[in-house]
Homo-oligomer: A and B are copies of this chain.
Amino acid sequence: MPNGDTAEVSANRLSELEIELVDLCVRLAQFLGLPKSLGEIYGAVFISPRPVTMEEIIERHGISKGSASQGLRALKMIGAVRSQYIPNDRRDHYVAETGLGHLVAGIMRNRYEPAIDDFGVRVGDLSRNNRKAEHNEEFLRQRVEKLEHWQQQAQQIVPTLRQVLGRGEQ
């Protein structure tokens, strides 16, 4: 049972510094094209020195239950957050993953790689049809080739990023 009496006042407010840290997480999320709430939730976990429950996040940050639930699921999926077992407590407790390489890799895997692959498939189809369709103008064929080249370059980016960001994790 939550602490009782005087407690109906909101659980400990966020300090200035905590607010700023969460703010940065929100900006980061938006930079990456993720919804603001993911940034808030990640921030909530990031600033906590010990594993947090969904309820704490909801209380301290004023997020709806639905957002919190869905947001945590998404963050788990990209590996930004993981849940940690706490004895004698039925609730899930979350801990932030803080390696930038790890975070970026998760986002890549879930968001970017599928799109790059899809692009590859489409360009592949196109260039296959391109060959047998002899009435195409030469110019458009060159454009299709250009896209194939883009696709090849895009494929190289993922491993390269991994290399740059993979160092210095703890």
Interface residues of A (CB under 8 A from B): 2-3, 17-18, 20-21, 23-24, 27-28, 31, 33, 46-47, 49, 98, 100-101, 112, 115, 118-119, 122-123, 126, 129-130, 133, 135-137, 139-140, 143-144, 146-147, 149-150, 153-154, 156-157, 160-161, 164-165, 168
Contact = CB atoms under 8 A, between A and B. Distances in A.
Contact of A140 (B47, B98, B119, B149): B47
**Most chain B beta carbons < 10 A, residue from A3, A133, A147:** A147
- The dominant DSSP class at the A interface is helix
Given A21-B144, A119-B24, A143-B46, A164 B156 contact: yes
> This chain: how many copies in the complex?
2
Contacts of A20: 122, 126
Nearest to A43: B143
Contacts of A146: 98
Given A17-B130, A17-B144, A24-B122, 16 more contacts: A17-B140, A18-B140, A21-B126, A27-B115, A31-B115, A31-B119, A33-B33, A46-B143, A100-B149, A100-B150, A100-B153, A101-B153, A149-B168, A153-B165, A156-B164, A157-B161
Given A157-B164, A164-B160, A137 B49 contact: yes
Given A27-B119, A100-B149, A115-B31, A140 B21 contact: yes
A24 B140 contact: no
A17 B129 CA distance: 9
A161 to B, nearest CB: 7
Contacts of A122: 20, 23-24, 27
17 contacts: A3-B135, A17-B136, A17-B144, A18-B140, A24-B119, A24-B122, A24-B123, A24-B126, A24-B147, A31-B112, A31-B115, A33-B33, A46-B143, A47-B140, A100-B153, A149-B168, A160-B160
